[in-house]
Homo-oligomer: A and B are copies of this chain.
Amino acid sequence: MNTLEKVQKSLTHFSKSERKVAEVILASPQTAIHSSIATLAKMADVSEPTVNRFCRRLDTKGFPDFKLHLAQSLANGTPYVSRHVEEDDSPDSYTTKIFESSMAALDTARQSMDTAAINKAVDILTQAKKISFFGLGASASVAHDAQNKFFRFNVPVICFDDVLMQRMSCINSSEGDVVVLISHTGRTKSLIDIARLARENGAAVIAITSRNSPLSSECTLPVTMEVPEDTDMYLPMASRLAQLVIVDVLATGFTLRRGPRFRESLKRVKEVLKESRIEKDPIL
């Protein structure tokens, strides 16, 4: 865990003097890491060894080591002790918080990723006759993005954000087809039906969803992740970002598997797109 958060969280566990040290550090972590143990002790109005003991209590080797850990946690963001948006946050404040919580969410998602599953998914995708991306509601935009990416690969790819079309498409699917389902909760009934339907028709079903969800047990290959989502108050967002990144990871794996000649043709697609744009001023 982040050292600064640890200090914050252990506040109650500390003794009187140690709490003084913690408060000084929390008040201005940037000052703390640039101070010597003597100046910090003076700021907190305690003795130097107290500061040292404080450091030890947080599982560090001593004061210098503690400074190192603290420096790292400062670099990692979290200048705000809380990342949750509050009622009376300023635009500057909530902007920062949302960006930071997004980054933190991506980090936890990364740590919970199973790269073996990623690899298998790439396997399946490269061998697909046809790829379909399905998502509902908020996940639909991820499906669209995926379609956009894989379309450039010159692979037969479709995308539906509508239950009926998804069902119809599944009924017509066959061996060699790959269906990618995107759902954060993995509990949307109609998507679970679709997973079953697709499998019954011989298609391989990849699901980008959460671990242990009903959907993950209903598909051929679950690509799962753990994302801290504060859905109580705000809209699901972190999961969307993580899904997008996973789609990008799959797309990247796809291009790597296909080899260099394939990537040449990708560049040509890009060249064509440039024509619809206003050229950048060459002076810039």
Contact = CB atoms under 8 A, between A and B. Distances in A.
Contacts of A73: 75
Contact of A260 (B77, B87, B231, B273): B87
Contacts of A68: 33-34, 67-68, 71
Interface string A115-134: 11011001000000000000
Contact of A144 (B99, B113, B141, B253): B141
A245 B234 contact: no
A276 interface: yes
Contacts of A148: 137-138, 140-141
Contacts of A13: none
Interface residues of A, number: 82
A71 B241 CA distance: 27
B190 A276 contact: yes
A199 interface: no
A81 interface: no
Interface string A57-101: 000000011011101111111000000010101111011101110
Please give the count of copies of this chain that the complex contains. Answer: 2
Q: Do most interface residues of chain A lie in helix, strand or loop, or is the interface mixed?
A: helix
A151 to B, nearest CB: 10
B98 A263 contact: no
Contacts of A77: 107
A244 interface: yes
B95 A118 contact: yes
A191 B180 CA distance: 31
A284 B192 CA distance: 20
11 contacts: A68-B68, A68-B71, A69-B71, A94-B252, A100-B110, A141-B145, A145-B240, A189-B278, A192-B278, A231-B270, A237-B245
